[in-house]
Structure 1
Amino acid sequence: MIEGIHKINPSAVHYVFVPCRDKSLFGRNSISKDAIKIVYFYVPSWLKFFPIIKVFFAFLKVIVFFRKESLDVSKFKGVAYTFWSDGAITFLVRLFYKCPYIVCVRNTDIQVFFKYGYHLRPLMKLIFNFSIKVVCPSRVISESVLSRRWLCSSESKVCVIPNPLPLWWAENSVSSVNSRLDGGYIYGVFVGSFDKNKNLTGVVEAISHARERYPSLQLMCVGGEEEEMFSLLGEGDIPDYLKVMGRIDDKNHLLKIYRRSAFLIVPSYQETFGMVYIEAISQGCSVIYSEGQAVDGMLPKGKFSFAVLPGNTENMSMAICSAIEMRETVSVADFLDVIALFDMNQVCKAYLNIFEGLK
């Protein structure tokens, strides 16, 4: 996203601080632009057991860099990518240098620090109060923040700005939409870890029910191996309508799978955003996700976007059938309209507009 912000505001110099527990990660992400400087620094892994000490350790590393480079930090504007790990450091920078900052909330903040970090709550409340905006990538996270009265002292400070669709997917977005029949088969796809939270066993049951109506229905499963599938399904062989694809890191390969599929189904029990849904939409693939999770409330429902109850096999099966039936009614424009909501340029402008509002 930093490249998108730089494109809009090329006159500014952008510093990205990346704490690493493994020095071999130094330099892994590099951007060949003079105005974008990525600063790696080492943080010992054992400090994760002492979160407050870890924050001050990282803060001192940042301060040393500022002084070494003789930077006028008072003119800086900060964006903390995570609420606790990055937000605490940015808060301390704000105390010393008076520079404004935006803080983002991520899944780890919700599931770990907000839930179990009782001793960290006084500092987390200060992070919230001193920020100019608290950005949530989805309505699910926003509602979670707003429900925590010990943290949220101002509802108006909380806003939703989605994670942007990576430029590669946007530049390779679909140019045609069809019924997605392939050699007489109808394909669906699951992309995610083969674990209980992602609800793959429920998906397999729903596919089995949907095959009573669509016998040619097949499901491609991306993200795990056959051993993991055996472990989830228990005794017996893997049904022949399930195709275990393993882990796929090649974006071109995944793109072809999305374009082959009529729908993506990932009805997780807990999902705070899920970029896979937006990637799939960019390739003209309908999406099925859990009600009250992930991108629910951010997509128009009923045409190529379906919210389901993850514990209800019949409900998921009906959504699968609806997704197949509605293929004939959707157009490229329908998908592109949704992709526009996650456009990198628009998301970056939303962040910059927050800072512009300070003037």
Structure 2
Amino acid sequence: MDSELEQHVYIPIKTDREPENVVNLTKGELIFDKIIKPIHKYNYFGKIREITNSITTKKAHQNIDFVHAHNLFTDGVVAYNLKKKFGLKYIVAVRTTDIGLQYKYMYHRRFKAKRVLEEAEHVIFISPIYRDKLFKMMSPSFISKITSKIKIVPNGINDYWLDNQNKVKNNLQEGNIKVLYVGQIMKRKNVLLLIEALDVLNQRTEKKFFLTVVGGENNHENEFYNTFLNTIKSYSWIDYKGKIKEKETLLEEYRQSDIFAMPAKGELFGLVYIEALSQAKPVLYANGEGINGFLENKSVGISIDPDNLEDICNGITTIVENYDSFNGFSEVVEPFNWNRISNLYKTMYRQNE
């Protein structure tokens, strides 16, 4: 969209931080503003007021057709303020932290969030799961006010995976099952419980399960990473590859596997599941996470309770025993095409011009 639309992106950052992920836009600009202070953690409405005032002082709101707010409780409220002051229309995206932290626990902020949702032209969720989670905390009467505005727009995967889709699923070998995990080595990804489940299956069944793990250390969980390294020493059937940056190498890992398994909890979305599906691999994933909303009732994987060892074992066994029934991978992957997603956004933007 960079070459087609003039974007002015306002990015408030902490006063002690430097700009990150700086890119040169063909049209428009990135406006980094060192404005977020420690006190703002305790003074939410003060933060909103300062950001709104800074935008107007910098005249960043001028010559703008509409606003895209990338979250509900900060960007959305600022966009709402700009609409009230200058008549600027906006669309707002609702993030997992908006739902699971802000709306769930910050009762005193809910009234403002509702005003944002009511005044938005469109309300974006990356998965129907997150829409449903938010709706569970709202009254039917309020839901009816915003239902027509709701759009489900997922994140996309790199074109590389779409251009190199594997249309043919592996023939599962009788005795050896190759399982793949791709993700950071961190607690909530549940890699240790996955290892335990495969160990149980290796002892319980005649089949031999092999696990390939791809992923680097999470800098905030060094102790967990060391536990992981010590754990895998005991298992000859685990091949730890570390972090793989080259897409071509990662593609081969996907293709050489039979099943993709990551029973992660608190997963924002998990594009690795879609990458695996692009290579015709059935996936094992956790109930109630973002990806669940797109794979539910599709014959491409199994959802499990990520805290239940036996459920993970049963999920893997179900995939193995019904391997030939998993299909329709390309149809599931198609909505994650960035060209399609950008066209959806452009349509929304132009409706607001």
Question: Does the pair score TM above 0.5?
Answer: yes
Equivalent residues of 1:14, 1:37 under 8 A apart: yes
CA apart distance, 1:341:
1.5
1:120 aligns with 2:121: no
1:100 aligns with 2:89: yes
Letter in 1 for 2:282: S
Corresponding residue for 1:166? 157
Corresponding residue for 1:339? 333
2:260, 2:15 → 1: CA distance?
35
Q: Tell which deviates more after alignment, 264-273 or 94-103.
A: 264-273
- 1:41 aligned residue (17, 33, 40): 33
1:218 aligns with 2:214: no
- 2:344 aligned residue (339, 350, 357): 350
| Offset from partner CA, 1:206-230 (integer Å, 9 cap, x none) | 2123332421422425243795255
Corresponding residue for 1:53? 46
Q: CA RMSD in A?
A: 3.3
Equivalent residues of 1:139, 1:160 under 8 A apart: no
Corresponding residue for 1:258? 254
Corresponding residue for 1:287? 283
CA apart distance, 1:259:
2.9
- 2:21 aligned residue (10, 16, 28): 28
1:24, 1:276 → 2: CA distance?
30
- 1:65 aligned residue (37, 58, 74): 58
CA apart distance, 1:131:
1.0
| Long gaps (5+) in structure 1 | none
1:138 aligns with 2:134: no
SS at match of 1:187: strand
SS at match of 1:71: coil
Equivalent residues of 1:218, 1:243 under 8 A apart: yes
Q: 1:290 to 1:168 in 2, by over 3 A?
A: same
CA apart distance, 1:316:
2.0
Letter in 2 for 1:179: N
CA apart distance, 1:140:
1.3
Q: Tell which deviates more after alignment, 192-201 or 225-234.
A: 225-234
Q: 1:236 to 1:345 in 2, by over 3 A?
A: closer
2:298, 2:162 → 1: CA distance?
26
Equivalent residues of 2:89, 2:352 under 8 A apart: no
Letter in 1 for 2:334: A
Corresponding residue for 1:308? 304
Q: 1:300 to 1:81 in 2, by over 3 A?
A: same
Q: Tell which deviates more after alignment, 130-139 or 51-60.
A: 51-60
Identity between Structure 1 and Structure 2 (%)? 21
Equivalent residues of 2:11, 2:31 under 8 A apart: yes
Q: 1:238 to 1:291 in 2, by over 3 A?
A: same
Equivalent residues of 1:262, 1:327 under 8 A apart: no
Corresponding residue for 2:196? 205
2:43, 2:246 → 1: CA distance?
37
Equivalent residues of 2:68, 2:91 under 8 A apart: yes
Equivalent residues of 2:128, 2:152 under 8 A apart: no
Q: 1:221 to 1:22 in 2, by over 3 A?
A: farther
SS at match of 2:303: strand
The TM-score, its normalising length taken from structure 2, stands at 0.82
Equivalent residues of 1:187, 1:220 under 8 A apart: no
* Count, aligned residues: 344
Corresponding residue for 1:17? 10
Q: 1:185 to 1:42 in 2, by over 3 A?
A: farther
SS at match of 1:30: coil
Q: 1:236 to 1:223 in 2, by over 3 A?
A: closer
Letter in 2 for 1:107: T
Letter in 1 for 2:343: K
Equivalent residues of 2:122, 2:151 under 8 A apart: no
